[in-house]
């Protein structure tokens, strides 16, 4: 039996379902609603906090939050997926608290308030169809959906870059994860039918069309969970900053392979390999955006496979399960009729792979790869096709 994720629920269906649950939980219909998507990164991994380039797309799985304003300053937060209720008063500073999941919503409420998004109290219910812990930015979706709800409640809109930066700060301060800007940025600014090439230094973006009807984005969850605040992520960041210091540049974005070679004697082997990944990955990301524009899928695929190898060998953030999924996909490498390219996606240490696959072949290949993966690892993977989707939006209830 092959385990397939159910087809993605539309935003409207998810809204109706969540609104009905809100009525049950709070005894009245919601009056305000917002949604923000998860993301998958096509290429450009561990480059965002090096001032580099990333190429993610928003996916058709999202966090929806519905609410009704209150006459006092009390906020009550509930979730459709997890037990418990968070309750606090907006006349006091908003801090971290129980239940743990509420911190992804408390952060945006606290920091949104500092930017003037100050609603009265409200009751809210959140529902997410982004698999959690799978490297698809379920936390960014929660954060950005809450900021968007605050926009709906106050009628005050944030500048999109400021909104993404605020959600990132919430992740740093309320979820204790020193993430880069990619996830919150694409969840805010995703565009239907497109990936976004983001310059993480100046925050400029370039739309990259991803609307070839013959090609689909396949996500396979290795179903090995990870926690980014396990320390590995922060350690990688420090290693990159130290390498940039030795190379005499502000960030690894400014380094070249020539500079790296001439400084080799001053870097230990680990620092050298970390820097080599980031420098190479930035170039691969720019090249991949151009190759996608030209629909040069042979080039796109080679860049994706090279990215995975570099994350596995130089940056050391892959897992045996992710390596296995990419190896199994590579066995069907055929830019004309099969797998175009495949790699791990997100922070690593578990989670998902992303593959570009010819539409005609995707059902057969997803079944084959997950069956072979089960045989090799004993773990059941989940495969699903996603479509490049719009970023956060206020929904009409």
**The 3-state secondary structure of 71-89, one letter per residue:** CCCEEEEEECCCCCEEEEE
Considering beta carbons, is residue 79 or 285 the nearer one to ligand GLA?
A: 285
Considering beta carbons, is residue 90 or 311 the nearer one to ligand GLA?
A: 311
Task: Write the CA distances from 48 to 20, 129, 199, 203, 209, integer angstroms.
Answer: 39, 25, 8, 10, 21
Residue 179 found at the interface with ligand GLA (CB under 6 A): yes
Stretch that binds ligand GLA, among 4-12, 29-37, 41-49, 93-101 (CB under 6 A): 41-49
Catalytic residue among 51, 183, 199, 269: 183
Task: Write the CA distances from 210 to 56, 195, 197, 295, integer angstroms.
Answer: 11, 6, 12, 9
Which residues of the chain form beta strands (DSSP E)? 32-41, 53-54, 56-69, 74-79, 85-89, 122-128, 194-199, 205-209, 215-221, 339-344, 352-358, 382-386, 393-395
Residue 183 found at the interface with ligand GLA (CB under 6 A): yes
Give dist(CA 44, CA 86) in Å, integer. Answer: 36
Return the CA Rg of the chain: 21
Give dist(CA 102, CA 82) in Å, integer. Answer: 10
Q: Is 183 a catalytic residue?
A: yes
Q: Smallest gap, in angstroms, from Cβ of residue 124 to ligand GLA?
A: 24
Residue 281 found at the interface with ligand GLA (CB under 6 A): no
Residue 346 found at the interface with ligand GLA (CB under 6 A): yes
Q: Smallest gap, in angstroms, from Cβ of residue 96 to ligand GLA?
A: 19
Give dist(CA 254, CA 260) in Å, integer. Answer: 11
Residue 174 found at the interface with ligand GLA (CB under 6 A): no
Q: Smallest gap, in angstroms, from Cβ of residue 292 to ligand GLA?
A: 18
Among 107, 131, 301, 347, binds ligand GLA (CB under 6 A): 347
Q: Smallest gap, in angstroms, from Cβ of residue 139 to ligand GLA?
A: 8
Mind giving me the DSSP string for 245-266?
HHHT-SSGGG--HHHHHHTGGG
Q: Smallest gap, in angstroms, from Cβ of residue 106 to ligand GLA?
A: 19
Residue 45 found at the interface with ligand GLA (CB under 6 A): yes
Among 35, 64, 111, 182, binds ligand GLA (CB under 6 A): 182
Residue 60 found at the interface with ligand GLA (CB under 6 A): no
Task: Please list the active-site residues.
Answer: 183
Contact residues for ligand GLA (CB under 6 A)? 45-46, 48-49, 179-180, 182-183, 346-347
């Amino acid at each position: 039996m092959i385990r397939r994720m159910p087809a993605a629920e539309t935003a409207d269906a998810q809204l109706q379902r969540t609104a009905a649950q809100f009525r049950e939980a709070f005894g009245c219909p919601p009056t305000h609603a917002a949604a923000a998507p998860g993301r998958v990164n096509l290429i450009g991994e561990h480059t965002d906090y090096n001032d580099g380039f990333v190429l993610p797309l928003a996916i058709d799985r999202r966090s929806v939050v519905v609410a009704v304003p209150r006459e006092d300053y009390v906020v009550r937060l509930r979730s459709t997926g997890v037990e418990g209720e968070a309750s606090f008063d907006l006349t006091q500073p908003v801090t971290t608290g129980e239940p743990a999941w509420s911190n992804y919503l408390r952060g945006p409420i606290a920091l949104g308030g500092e930017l003037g998004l100050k609603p009265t109290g409200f009751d809210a219910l959140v529902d997410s169809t982004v698999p959690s812990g799978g490297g698809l930015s379920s936390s960014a979706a929660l954060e950005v959906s809450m900021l968007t709800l605050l926009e709906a409640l106050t009628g005050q809109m944030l500048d999109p870059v400021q909104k993404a930066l605020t959600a990132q700060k919430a992740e740093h301060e309320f979820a204790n994860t020193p993430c880069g800007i990619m996830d919150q940025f694409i969840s805010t600014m995703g565009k239907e039918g497109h990936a976004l090439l983001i310059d993480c230094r100046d925050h400029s973006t370039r739309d990259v069309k991803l609307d070839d009807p013959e090609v689909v984005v396949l996500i396979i969850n290795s179903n090995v969970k990870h926690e980014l605040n396990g320390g590995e992520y922060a350690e990688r960041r420090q290693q990159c900053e130290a390498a940039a210091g030795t190379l005499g540049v502000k960030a690894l974005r400014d380094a070249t392979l020539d500079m790296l070679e001439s400084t080799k004697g001053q870097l230990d082997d680990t620092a050298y390999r970390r820097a080599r990944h980031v420098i190479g990955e930035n170039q691969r990301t720019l090249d991949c955006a151009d190759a996608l524009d030209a629909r040069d899928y042979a080039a796109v695929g080679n860049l994706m496979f090279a990215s995975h190898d570099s994350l596995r060998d130089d940056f050391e953030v892959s897992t045996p399960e992710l390596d296995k999924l990419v190896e199994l996909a590579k066995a069907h490498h055929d830019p004309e009729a099969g797998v175009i390219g495949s790699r791990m996606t997100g922070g690593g240490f578990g989670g998902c792979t992303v593959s570009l696959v010819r539409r005609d072949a995707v059902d057969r290949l997803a079944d084959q790869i997950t069956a072979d993966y089960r045989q090799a690892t004993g773990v059941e993977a989940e495969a699903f096709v996603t479509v490049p989707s719009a970023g956060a939006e206020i929904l009409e209830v």
